[in-house]
Amino acid sequence: MIECLVDGELSEQVSAADRAFHYGDGVYETIAVFDGQPRFWQGHMDRLAAGCERLDLPATPQAVLLREVQTVSAGQGRCMVKIIISRGPAGIGFRPAVTDTSTRVVASFSWPPVDGQPELSGVRTRICDLRLGIQPELAGLNHLNRLEQVRARAEWNDPTIHEGILLDREDHVISAIRSNIFLVFNDRILTPRLDRCGIRGVMRAAILAAFRERCEQRRITIDMLPEAEEIFLCNALHGVYPVNAIDHWHYEPGPVSREVQEWLAEQ
Amino acid sequence: MIECLVDGELSEQVSAADRAFHYGDGVYETIAVFDGQPRFWQGHMDRLAAGCERLDLPATPQAVLLREVQTVSAGQGRCMVKIIISRGPAGIGFRPAVTDTSTRVVASFSWPPVDGQPELSGVRTRICDLRLGIQPELAGLNHLNRLEQVRARAEWNDPTIHEGILLDREDHVISAIRSNIFLVFNDRILTPRLDRCGIRGVMRAAILAAFRERCEQRRITIDMLPEAEEIFLCNALHGVYPVNAIDHWHYEPGPVSREVQEWLAEQ
């Protein structure tokens, strides 16, 4: 961590009774900040507000969060800022003893190192052995229960593999571990529906909005992967990375991936 | 919290970079302690060690944990002690930047209040709307991703309902929210297999061992609930509670529940 605010105060500690620590009872945002300006701010705020509402967490005013993001990123050219809203030390027991409490952590981290120029060359990926559990109650949410992602990322050590593709138990393609996924067929841009598992990324939502006439959310099965003309990944930090391989299937970074990258460069 | 040790030091705070806070990356035990003596200690230690091994967390010597449990429970007649082993502040990103680190929290809490004599009268329960996701990679583990339980417990406010019965998405009975479940048929004692979801409770394991000749772990479907002669719940804090109702199905606390309670009283 570069700098961390807990409920607005400079601190690197939270209560050992916090429900995020005990249960993962909260939501988070991971935001790219360039020269003090958070990218896709409104998208992050919309998702955070929706997540708090679904988990019955109190809303935090955007102005407070923006000020804190700017405080922890001050003097950093480019950094990553993580916002965590947890239910706080609201009582041990699955049911909170106190309602309407929360703990707010806003912390900056150095920008993760990137090898080469993956936005041009594309990235190598693999299909994870772990299958995501189907849980509509939590699907789409960027909540703090992330052991599936931790376990999936522990499956490989090869540093040339950038990401792992996640399927659900019925062999539907859902996402990558820290990115959403898009497949191009005949100039149509498809991305998995995330009503049963997966995380609705802020970059995914921005792409769906910008290319709404060519985009479609649908069920995507594993057998569609080798048939896709192009595949690309996206997240709020890295933007858009074409996929050049999924295990033994190979792809060329193509014109639609480039078009989405060009759109992103203009934002 | 009555008293809390973090890595052996009196503290009520953990790092805001702890992976339990960010991802729920860790495991825990909830232990009944009577006059400084933890009940079912070896069962808790066996489960904790198995959980750490499955999540690639370093093992903590039992002697250290026992000393800390006794420290935080000193002077309490009866209390609950929670042990949390998290991967600690080992780097942000699903893959830990540092391996073989952990944070150890040992904290005591006052004994939860109990209304009436549920061990005699039995308890009223309901079937939760939330269905547990199927995730063999994490099944059985007492890990820190507990939003399913938090959301299931948020389904009702009626204080006369003691517990919620959890099914998986295929209508198999798995457990209650904070207890395991046993069904009695013809003097056979059945409990759900927990290879796809659910938590392997320490009291469940002790009952399975003590009554091994009459117990069976198997798939239990929802239609078996109204047919059961007796149903009882168990956990490390409350021991064994007969179920007297699941929604509109009613049961009498019966001889097998009593027999298990008598066995427990002798431990």
CATH number given to A118-265: 3.20.10.10
Distance from CA of B234 to the nearest CA of A (A): 16
- The mean pLDDT of B230-258, rounded to a whole number, is 97
Cβ neighbours of A171 (radius 10 Å): 11
Residue B158 has pLDDT above 90, yes or no: yes
From chain A, pick out residues whose CB is under 8 angstroms from the CB of B137.
130, 148, 151
Q: Which residues are paired to A185 by β-bridges? A: A188
CB contact under 8 A, B23 and A146: yes
pLDDT the model gives residue A2? 95
pLDDT above 70 covers a percentage of chain A that reads 100
Task: Please determine whether the domains at A3-110 and A118-265 fall in the same fold group of CATH.
Answer: no
| pLDDT tens by residue, B159-178 | 999 999 999 999 999 999 99
Strands of chain A (E only): list them.
3-6, 9-10, 13-15, 26-34, 37-38, 78-86, 103-110, 123-132, 161-168, 173-176, 180-185, 188-192, 215-218, 230-235, 239-246, 249-250
- The mean pLDDT of B58-82, rounded to a whole number, is 96
- The mean pLDDT of A205-214, rounded to a whole number, is 98
Distance from CA of A231 to the nearest CA of B (A): 23
pLDDT the model gives residue B92? 87
- The mean pLDDT of A182-201, rounded to a whole number, is 97
- The mean pLDDT of B95-122, rounded to a whole number, is 93
A9 touches chain B (CB under 8 A): no
| Residue whose C-alpha is closest to residue A61's, from A47, A45, A50 | A45
A224 touches chain B (CB under 8 A): no
From chain B, pick out residues whose CB is under 8 angstroms from the CB of A137.
130, 148, 151
Distance from CA of B25 to the nearest CA of A (A): 6
Which H/E stretch holds residue B189?
A: strand B188-192
CA dist B138 and B135 (Å) reads 6
Nearest CA in chain B to A12: B16
pLDDT the model gives residue A113? 87
Distance from CA of B89 to the nearest CA of A (A): 10
From chain A, pick out residues whose CB is under 8 angstroms from the CB of B169.
134
Beta-carbon contacts of A94 under 8 Å, excluding residues fewer than 6 positions away, are A23, B146, B149, B150, B152, B153, B177, B178
CA dist A155 and B110 (Å) reads 40
Question: Is residue B57 within 8 Å of residue B96, measured between CB atoms?
Answer: no
Residues 81-140 of B with CB under 8 A from A: 82, 84, 86, 92-96, 105, 107, 109, 112, 130-135, 137-138
- CATH number (3.30.470.10, 3.40.50.720, 3.40.50.150, 3.40.50.620) of B3-110 reads 3.30.470.10
Least reliable range by pLDDT among A12-21, A50-59, A95-104, B123-132? A95-104
Q: How do A180-185 and A188-192 pair as beta strands? A: antiparallel
From chain B, pick out residues whose CB is under 8 angstroms from the CB of A20.
20-21
B219 touches chain A (CB under 8 A): no
3-state per-residue secondary structure call for B204-246: HHHHHHHCCCCEEEECCEHHHCCCCCEEEEEECCCEEEEEEEE
From chain B, pick out residues whose CB is under 8 angstroms from the CB of A113.
none
| Residue whose C-alpha is closest to residue B165's, from B258, B228, B78, B102 | B228
Confidence of residue B187 (pLDDT cuts 50, 70, 90): confident
Cα B86 from chain centre: 17
CA dist A35 and A111 (Å) reads 12
Asked if ipTM goes beyond 0.90, one says yes
Nearest CA in chain B to A28: B22
Rounded (to 5) percent helix, strand, coil in chain A: 25, 35, 40
B152 touches chain A (CB under 8 A): yes
Nearest CA in chain A to B20: A21
CB contact under 8 A, A150 and B23: yes
Size of interface A-B (CB pairs under 8 A): 170
Task: Give the sign of the dihedral formed by CA A43, CA A46, CA A52, CA A55.
Answer: negative
pLDDT the model gives residue B106? 98
| Residue whose C-alpha is closest to residue A256's, from A176, A165, A164, A185 | A185
Q: Which of A25, A135, A196 to mutate to test the interface with B (most CBs of B within 10 A)?
A: A135
Confidence of residue A258 (pLDDT cuts 50, 70, 90): very high
Nearest CA in chain A to B25: A147
- Which single residue is written with the structure tokens 């027999």? B259
pLDDT the model gives residue B117? 94
Phi, psi of B13 (to 5 degrees): -130, 150
CB contact under 8 A, A146 and B25: yes
For A32, the token pair is 């790219």
CA dist A175 and B30 (Å) reads 35
**What is the pTM for the complete model shown?**
0.97
Q: Where are the domains of chain B?
A: 3-110, 118-265
pLDDT above 70 covers a percentage of chain B that reads 100
- The mean pLDDT of A130-143, rounded to a whole number, is 98
**Measured between CB atoms, which of B16, B147, B154 is closest to A24?**
B147
CA dist B25 and B84 (Å) reads 10
- The mean pLDDT of B135-144, rounded to a whole number, is 98
3-state per-residue secondary structure call for A168-203: ECCCEEEEECCCEEEEEECCEEEEECCCCCCECCHH
- Residue B34 DSSP class: E
B265 touches chain A (CB under 8 A): no
CB contact under 8 A, A138 and B147: yes
Confidence of residue A206 (pLDDT cuts 50, 70, 90): very high
- The mean pLDDT of B32-47, rounded to a whole number, is 97
- The mean pLDDT of B179-208, rounded to a whole number, is 97
Residue B222 has pLDDT above 90, yes or no: yes
Confidence of residue B113 (pLDDT cuts 50, 70, 90): confident
- Answer left, alpha or beta for residue B147, where phi above 0 means left and psi between -120 and 50 means alpha: alpha
Helical residues (DSSP H) of chain B, grouped into ranges: 19-23, 41-54, 62-73, 118-121, 147-153, 202-210, 255-265
From chain A, pick out residues whose CB is under 8 angstroms from the CB of B91.
none
- The mean pLDDT of A148-165, rounded to a whole number, is 97
CA distances from A183 to A136, A180, A222, A223, A256 (A): 23, 10, 11, 12, 10
Question: Is residue A228 within 8 Å of residue A185, measured between CB atoms?
Answer: yes
Residues 162-191 of A with CB under 8 A from B: 169, 177-178
**Measured between CB atoms, which of B25, B93, B146 is closest to A23?**
B146
pLDDT above 90 covers a percentage of chain A that reads 95
Q: Which of B21, B85, B157, B174 to mutate to test the interface with A (most CBs of A within 10 A)?
A: B21
B144 touches chain A (CB under 8 A): yes
pLDDT the model gives residue A99? 82
B17 touches chain A (CB under 8 A): yes
| pLDDT tens by residue, A120-132 | 999 999 999 999 9
CA dist B85 and B18 (Å) reads 11
Confidence of residue A236 (pLDDT cuts 50, 70, 90): very high
Confidence of residue A190 (pLDDT cuts 50, 70, 90): very high
Nearest CA in chain A to B91: A1
